[in-house]
Each structure stands twice: as C-alpha cells, then as structure tokens.
Structure 1
Amino acid sequence: MKRKNYIACCLLFILSLSVQSIFAQKANFISTLTEQNHWVDSVYKKLSRKERIGQLFYVRAHTNKGQHYEDSVAMVIQDEHIGGLVFFQGGPVRHANLINSYQKLSKVPLLIAMDGEWGLGMRLDSSVSYPYQMTLGAVQDNNLIYKMGQMVAYDFKRLGIHINFAPDMDVNNNPNNPVINYRSFGDNKYNVAQKGIAYFKGMQDAGLIVFAKHFPGHGDTNVDSHYDLPLLPFTRARLDSLEEYPFREAIAAGVSGVMIAHMSIPALDSTKNLPSTLSRPIVTGILKDSLGFKGIVASDAMEMAGVTKYFPNGEADVRAFLAGNDLIELSVNSQNAAKLILKAIRKKKITKAEFEAKVKKLLAAKYWAGLDAYKPTTPKNIIQDINRPAAAELIQQLADAAITVLKGDSRTLRQSPFKKTAIVSIGVDRPTVFQMELSKWYANSMIFLVGKNTSLTDLNRMLQTLKGFDQIFVSIHDTRLRPASKLDYSSDVKFLISALAAKPNVVTSVFANPYTIAGLPGIEKSAGILVGYQKDDAMQRSAVKVITGSMKPAGKLPVSVNMYFTTGMGMSF
C-alpha cells in the first residue's frame, strides 16, 4: 500500500511539473539585455556586414499562396540572410511544416512572428480565436486576461512561433476609427494600460516576445494607415497625457517590444508628411530617450500606404533604420533596402555602436526565445493541442466575465418563464445559439428570424404576429468577420429594432461592436439591454445565463457609446 501511494505521489509530482513547464515564468527579456551573452557575441562576430543588416528584416510568409510563393520566400532567406518571418494566412499544420523547412535554410535560426491579437485564429484556419480586445476591456478580472496570454503563448510556441505583434495598446477614443476600434481595450487609458499589461505579461512570462502597438497611439484617427497617412493634430500635452500613457505603463512593466505607427504628428515632428515610423525625434528622442525604452523597436508594416505613399523605393526602410527602429517589418523590397542601409552605414549616418546594438538586441531575442538550441516543431497532434478543452473553457469564462447589462435588473431580464414568449434574432438566416439556449427556459416560446434586409412587408407582418406575445427577447447579431461600428442592416430592419424596443417587456441583447448601439435610436427604450460585444457562441450563452439568473453580470462598458451608455457602465445584481 505504501509503495502504491509513493508511486501515485510521484506521478502527481511529475504531472504538476509538466503543467508548470508549459506556463513556467520566464526571465524578463529587457533584464537580459544588460548581461554579457557569449552566444550573441559569437554569432555577431561570424556574420558579415551584409548578414548583420539582413538580421534587421522580417518578411511576409504564407501557406495559402502556393509553392511558387513559398519558394520565393526561401530564396530571400538564403540570399539576404534575413532575421525572421512574419506569417499570415494558412493552416497551423502547414505553418509548422513550412517553419521547419525555412529554419533549415537559415544560417542563424529565424525568429518567427505573427499578428495574433486574439490568438492564432486571427490569421489561421482550424485555430482558436479568443475574445477581441474590446470584449476583454469589459472584463473586471485581469487574471483571466493574463491566463489568456499564457494560452496564446502556448499555441504560438507549439507551431514554432516566437513573436506576437500584440497587444494593441491604443486608446480608442474615436468611434469611427476604421483600423483600431474593436482591437482596442477601450477609451479609458487606465483600463487600456491594465488590460494590455495583463495580456502581454501572460504571453511574455510564458516565453513569447511581445510588442505593444501602435506607438505613440493610433486610437483617435479616422484614416486607416494601410491606405493613407493619418494625421494626429493634437498637442504635445494631450499626446503625453492620453495616447502615450498605456505605452509608458507597458515600458515600466517590462514589455519586450514596441511597434511604431505610421502617422503624421506635427506636435512631435513638424516635417511634412513624415510618418512617425521614420521620425528620429519620435522613435529615438521620445520612445528610447525620454521614455527610456530599452527593448526591441519594430516598425509597423513597411508595405502600408501610410509610409510608402511619400517614401517609395526603399527610402522608407533606410529612414526607419536611421530613426531608431531595430526590426523592419515587411519591406516592399528588402534587398534594395539593405543596400541603402549599407550605404548609410558607410556614409556614417549611424554610429558603429548603434548599429551593433540593434543587431545584438535582435540576436539576444533569438537567444531568449531558445534559438541557441533550436529544435524543429513536431507537427503531430497540433490541431488537437491548440484546440484543447482548456481553451474553450477559458473562452467561456472570459465571455461570462465580459457580458454587460446596461439596463434592467434580475426580474426585468428574467421576465416570466410561463408566459407566451417570442425570441427574435436579427441579422441572421438561421436559429442562433441564443435562441436555442433561451428556449430551453421558456416552454411556451416561439423563434423568429429577421435577415439584414428583410422586406418591409415581412417586417410588418411579423410585428402584427408579435402582438400576440406577452414578452419578447431580441438579439442583434453582426455576422461579419470583423465587427464594425455600424451595422449593415437596412433602414427598415433598424426601424424594427426601435419599434420592438418601444414595446413593454422587451429585453434586447447586442452581439456586435458596442458602438453599433449609437446607430440604433430607440433601443434605449428596451426594458433590459445586454451587450455581448461579438457574435461568438460563448457570448450568446453568457447572455442566456444572465437573463435566466444562473449567473450574475460583472462586465463594464469599455467605451462611451452615446449619452445613454458611457464608459464604465454595467449593472451588477
């Protein structure tokens, strides 16, 4: 018996060690930069100047563009000795296999990066998508967000990816922002900072290199820098106190990287049409010198029109390099850009010490990520590993913590389980999870569906039918891939929402970007209003839990929608 107990204890101990190893806290990257690193020094000495310049460049990679595209990337790896790759669309197993293939071609192991603000699902099929940052902005328990960071890090590392260009730490105080919006934690700078730190610490502690973006703040723009150069016309005092605040906090908390936005900011650099990415006063003067950031500075994608519009043919890349960026992401022509950088070095436009520090910093990141002892990824069971039950459980926990009640109390929301009940889902063409789950609690219920462009005749007919019901639950859904600030519903369907809200005993749940509420006048008349932030099944289940009284709401609105619903609102009962 004693032997059996001993064996059982040993097995439990081994199991606990294996779990701890997955999420073991790693030493902070910034703290390692001041230490002597023999691997970094040795690799640096072996590289030619051309190869050292190559370490600055990170180029685009896909697994959904065919063999010719994959081969072209392989040639760049071999010919230009680049430092890393940024992976985009494709599948997780294909990505893992291609990463393994590309690593074999590189003299120095590659750092592999991806934009994964809500996990691998932001780019890859067959992968987990965690909640958007706007949804996380409603969550009051930051420990859940830290845990999400750990889970995302596990997924990335499982595929052989070392860098996540996340979190987004922009303060989204412009509801019409076309590029940040739901990718932000909200419009409260303190909430953005706290949530961003919790998220990146979860990832970083679990061994992922992370980048707070987009410095000095892309939240108050109405131009997408993918297509043009946004202008940030604010004073230095405003930028210091608002836009830069989350980044200062992130730096103080030890973030490993910061990504620079492509924006014209006259208060910080008056050079006409100069993107912040290419501004030495901003990148070096403010970020590195004033704020004291010692980690990796990355440019936003150098292929974006916000930077190429005024600086084509590789000029943008050399300017970004001279401005103080360490990592040059997605150059339009990395080969030509490398030649221009070599020319700038020969002309002594940058000191030898500064150039060496850039390259060694990126090599130190490779060492921190474990590339000094590189091992290929095992493709077997990747799909099962990244779609593990623990991920689904955490997604539901986050949804439960985010669901926000803007109006109503427990009695108003629950209504009567015995009365004749209509459950109406709008913006869909098939029964929703919300309807299926809620109908289990209301035996005498009927389901109604309204499409985004249902005819006025059909809408009027349904309104007449609904007069025969005692109470109505309405759910509003944005089924688009990305939840925009305005719903793509017809004006007739929007009028229906207003007409339903004016009826007694109507509870409305919004599974869409919270800003969409502003475009639905009259919705505030509903007896009860819940916000679910996005279309996901988990959010719909959370709303049903609150309505039926099986869970207390805890979420708080992360943005101001209109005069009725402002930042921080959320009923608790």
Structure 2
Amino acid sequence: MKELPTYNDAKTLLSPIQKIGQFFMPAAFINDTEDEIRALEDLIRDHGIGGICFFHSRASAATNFEGKKKVLRNEESFETLKSLIKRYQSVSKYPLFIAIDAEWGLAMRIENTPQYPYAITLGAFTGKKQLVYEVGKSIAHDCLAAGIHWNLSPVVDINNNPDNPVIGYRSFGDNREQVTQKALAYIKGTESPGILTSIKHFPGHGDTSVDSHPGIPVIDKSKKELTENELYPFQNIISEGVDAVMVGHLSIPALAKGKQEPASISKDIITDFLRGEMNFKGVVISDALNMHAVSKNYPVPGELEWLAYNAGNDILCFAEHVKEGIGIIAKNASENQLEETFERVWKLKEKAMGNPYQNKFKELSKSAALNWQIARESITLYHGTEADITEFSSETFCTLTLKRTLENAAHEEILTFLEEAKQEIKEEKNILLLLTPPKVKPANQFGFYQEEIDFINTILEEKNVVIYHFGNPYSLKLFDIKNSLATVLVYQDFTEFQDVATEHFLGKIKANGKLPVSLT
C-alpha cells in the first residue's frame, strides 16, 4: 500500500478539489461485473475519493429496496473482497479508507466468513462484558484479514418500539444502560487491534415504525425525552471517546428548531447539536445517501451531497454523484469549512493507516468457542418454568421442527409439509417444537406464511407444547405464546446455540438469560 503523507504535509500537498474528494465514500460491491469494477477504478483515479464502503452486491438488502433483484450466493466472496481491495488501493493516489458494515461479523456482507451473535443476543445476559469485548475483537481480526480499516458499527439505538422494521435484533435492547455498556465493550474490543468504529444511527433510530431505507421516520419527542433516553448512549460513548458518529435519515423536530428535515442533512442537528451541545470532535459520517428517505427528494445530481456536507457530515457514505458533489461543494463551501473537515478526515485516516496490527492477521477468526459461551449465557426461559420442561422431557413427546431449508420455499411445498405434520402429531399429546423463523427481519411476518402461523397457534391451543425458538424473538408476537407449556429463547440457529438448547432441554444447564426488549 502507498504511504500516507502526514496531515501537516497533506494540507499543503493536496489542492482544495483533492481535499474534497477525500470526503466521499461511494459504495463498492463484492460481486460486481468487470465493467462495474473498472467504472469504480475510474472514479477513484479521476476524482481522488477518500474511501469506499463494501456491500455484497447491487441486489443486496441495503440497496435493493423493492426486493425485486435476486441476491446470488458467491462462495468465493471473501477472496473476491480481498482482491478487489488490493485492486482499488492500487489505482488510488493516496490510501483509501476501506469500510464495511460488520455488526455481527463479515458474515453480514460476505459468505463463508465467521458470524457472531446479533446485538439482541448479546443483550440477553447481564455482566459478562468480556464476551462482548471478544466479539468486537474477533470481528476486528477478520476485518484486518480482509484489508478493512473501519467497521461501521455498533448500533447504539435503544429499540423501545417492538414494531421497528429495521433495528430490532440489531440493538442491544431497550434499556439505556444496557445498550451503552454493551456498546462500549464492543467498541473497546474492536479498537484493541486497531479497527475504527462508528456509533449509529444518531440521534436514535430505536423508536420508529418506519424503515429509513424507503421512507423518513419522524420521532416527535421533546428534547428532554430524547436526552434521557435515545441520546443517552451517544452522549456517554462520545464522552468516553469514539472515532465516528453515523447520522441517520430521521426527522427529529425537537432538535431541528421544529423543522421536519432528515437529521443527515440538518445543520441544526449535526453542527449545532452534535458538535456544539454534545461536544463531539470526531468524524461525522452520513448514513447511506442512496437511501430513499433522502435520495428520492433530491433528484439534481450533487445537491444531496452538498446538503449533507454543509449540514456537518465529514464523510458522505454511499454518495452516488461524486463528480457533481465535488463541484458543488467546491463552489459553495468556505475555505475554513473545507480545512476543518479535511483535518478531521485525514487525521482519522492517519490513525487507520498507522495501525501496527495491519498485515498481522491473515486468517479468519474461529467463532465456535466464543459463540458457545454466548449461547450458554444468553439462553432465556421466556414462558413457563424449568420444572415444566423437566416434567415434559420425562414423558413421551413428539419433536416437530419448523425450519425452512430454503427461505423462498414454494407455498405449495409448505402447505404439503403442514398437512403431513398435522397427521404426524394427530394422536400426540406433547409436542417439542423447534422453531426457526424464515427471516430475521419483521417484513411479511418474518417470512412465515399465514398457514404456518395458524398451524402453530392451533397446536399451542390443543397440545402441550414446549417451544425452543431459534431466531429474532420479536417474531413471537405472531404466536399465542401464553398457551405454550414453556417457551425458551435461543436467539440464533448456529450449531453452538442448538447444542446449548439440547443441554438445557436435558436439564444439564439453567437458562440464565433475560429478553432485553419488550414484545408489547
């Protein structure tokens, strides 16, 4: 990799236009075509952008709002990622920031890489902050193995709205202290081998029922209410020290002098409140500027990039109009504004490129042992008692597994399976139900067909049912859990979590976890 000049050298070495280029972080896609790869190389070469943020493909969830493009699996994604990073770095005059969303590991974007538990799982046990630290550290090792400098996580939103369509399982919980302490442990673990972090989604995306990918959520709370809850983790973590804050596409009128504009383009929220009142001195990065919450309202190329920059964002993530954005910023921004932004961005880049652990981690981390420890700490008895399960397991029971082998299994196949299951359990009194929701996100009933929901609720009413639930616990809202004999939350369907569930059912361990959110 090319050497990065010091800030003192760079501030005279780079022209104003070159400095502005450093503020841009367009998307890079692991599964792009050769033509698309060359187009990004040209963008890097011609406009001197400061960094790139990697996504799986142009059909992945973060960019495919309508869900009409099929996401293809690529078993070689990790090797492709490494080669693309080297390729893009080679055409850049100065080293690029390489960023990615790896909240629960590179597996969030890349096949065949270690996956660690979701934040909601890490929120299901008290204390044990060292486990969360180790998760952050392990993910950081994997970032280093790939050539990534910046993990755009953790989420520090307090998920106090059970109908939240986009945060949910990505949050450590609905308690401000729990979220703050778990996030700090994750950050410290990530930083230990030198990987940068960014807390998100400022000022807090937890109490929304709108996904800011397609639309703009409005949080109509007083400043006092926000300070006591949503802003609490941000303020405490800022006081401890953090590399960056990512600003979400959220309308918070109480922080914007009554205006209903997205926080990501609000000078009142970013410059006056975040930098002024909250005293944040680090880098501010926008949430993805391609998200329809903002992009659909600004069709003129470069206009959104200018608004986001002028509001106080230092780095424009997923900027789609780099050339035009650079031009408008160069025309409108003051020299002092540009220099302040450039200093923050370049000094953070110096920190990343000066990481002594770079090139020391070539292999991916081993997740099994850590995941097993987390599984034992997080498993939660949500309904019923340990005695209920012990008594149930001593009697004759039928095991029924509801887990899709294919997420998009044909409706007819599911109906056939349900008819067969009805016959199988017709004469059974006791049912052990191993339940894995098809999807982790709540859209379309977590992927469940209505017939599946009705089937489960029927057996809950008619049979003695013990449920072991391997997924996002919010999906339990679909079922009459009060009718179960017992319901145990396992949170993940990893092998290690399945093994721990078996130990629990056999009475070898107790369930000491606690659901970190309310389902009502």
In 2, Cα distance between equivalents of 1:217 and 1:67 = 38
Q: 1:410 aligns with which of 343, 367, 386?
A: 386
The C-alpha deviation readout for 1:440-464, integer Å capped at 9, x for no partner, is xxxxxxxxxx985457754542342
Which residue number corresponds to residue 46 of structure 1? 13
Which residue number corresponds to residue 342 of structure 2? 359
Which residue number corresponds to residue 276 of structure 1? 263
In 2, Cα distance between equivalents of 1:406 and 1:485 = 24
Deviates more, 1:544-553 or 1:300-309: 544-553
Kept after mapping to 1: 8 A contact 2:52/2:96: yes
Identity %: 34
- The one-letter code of the counterpart of 2:326 is A
Deviates more, 1:415-424 or 1:239-248: 415-424
In 2, Cα distance between equivalents of 1:508 and 1:373 = 48
In 2, Cα distance between equivalents of 1:424 and 1:287 = 51
The structural deviation recorded for 1:552 is 2.4
What is the correspondence of 1:254-403 to structure 2 with a 5 Å cutoff? 254-270=241-257, 272-313=259-300, 314-345=302-333, 348=334, 352-371=335-354, 385-386=363-364, 388=365, 390-403=366-379
- The one-letter code of the counterpart of 2:423 is R
The structural deviation recorded for 1:238 is 1.4
Which residue number corresponds to residue 25 of structure 1? none
In 2, Cα distance between equivalents of 1:374 and 1:459 = 54
What is the correspondence of 1:455-494 to structure 2 with a 5 Å cutoff? 457-467=419-429, 471-480=430-439, 482=441, 486-494=445-453
In 2, Cα distance between equivalents of 1:429 and 1:370 = 43
3-state DSSP of counterpart to 1:473: strand
The structural deviation recorded for 1:486 is 3.4
In 2, Cα distance between equivalents of 1:324 and 1:410 = 53
Which residue number corresponds to residue 98 of structure 1? 84
Shift in alpha-carbon separation, 1:487–1:167, aligned structure 2, 3 A:
same
Shift in alpha-carbon separation, 1:454–1:198, aligned structure 2, 3 A:
farther
The C-alpha deviation readout for 1:57-82, integer Å capped at 9, x for no partner, is 01111221111111111101111111
- Answer yes or no: is 1:182 the counterpart of 2:169: yes
Deviates more, 1:286-295 or 1:498-507: 498-507
The structural deviation recorded for 1:258 is 0.4
Q: 1:528 aligns with which of 486, 499, 518?
A: 486
The structural deviation recorded for 1:205 is 2.3
Which residue number corresponds to residue 136 of structure 1? 122
- Answer yes or no: is 1:64 the counterpart of 2:51: no
The C-alpha deviation readout for 1:285-321, integer Å capped at 9, x for no partner, is 1111111111110011111111123233221211111
3-state DSSP of counterpart to 1:555: coil
Deviates more, 1:306-315 or 1:290-299: 306-315
What is the correspondence of 1:229-268 to structure 2 with a 5 Å cutoff? 229-268=216-255
Kept after mapping to 1: 8 A contact 2:439/2:447: no
Kept after mapping to 1: 8 A contact 2:115/2:367: no
Kept after mapping to 2: 8 A contact 1:170/1:217: yes
Shift in alpha-carbon separation, 1:225–1:182, aligned structure 2, 3 A:
same
Deviates more, 1:258-267 or 1:416-425: 416-425
- Answer yes or no: is 1:77 the counterpart of 2:44: yes
In 1, Cα distance between equivalents of 2:38 and 2:288 = 22
How many residue pairs were aligned? 491
3-state DSSP of counterpart to 2:280: coil
Q: Could you list the runs of 5+ residues in structure 1 that have no partner in the other structure?
A: 1-36, 431-449, 563-573
Deviates more, 1:222-231 or 1:535-544: 535-544
3-state DSSP of counterpart to 1:73: helix
Which residue number corresponds to residue 159 of structure 1? 146
The structural deviation recorded for 1:110 is 0.7
3-state DSSP of counterpart to 1:146: helix
Q: CA RMSD in A?
A: 2.5
Kept after mapping to 1: 8 A contact 2:464/2:485: yes
The structural deviation recorded for 1:503 is 5.7
In 1, Cα distance between equivalents of 2:260 and 2:290 = 16
The structural deviation recorded for 1:482 is 4.3
In 2, Cα distance between equivalents of 1:56 and 1:130 = 31
Shift in alpha-carbon separation, 1:457–1:179, aligned structure 2, 3 A:
closer
Q: Could you list the runs of 5+ residues in structure 2 that have no partner in the other structure?
A: 58-76, 407-411
- Answer yes or no: is 1:228 the counterpart of 2:215: yes
Kept after mapping to 2: 8 A contact 1:503/1:526: no
In 1, Cα distance between equivalents of 2:268 and 2:227 = 14
Kept after mapping to 2: 8 A contact 1:476/1:508: yes
Q: 1:554 aligns with which of 512, 515, 520?
A: 512
3-state DSSP of counterpart to 1:196: helix
3-state DSSP of counterpart to 2:114: coil
In 1, Cα distance between equivalents of 2:212 and 2:451 = 34
3-state DSSP of counterpart to 1:509: strand
Which residue number corresponds to residue 33 of structure 1? none
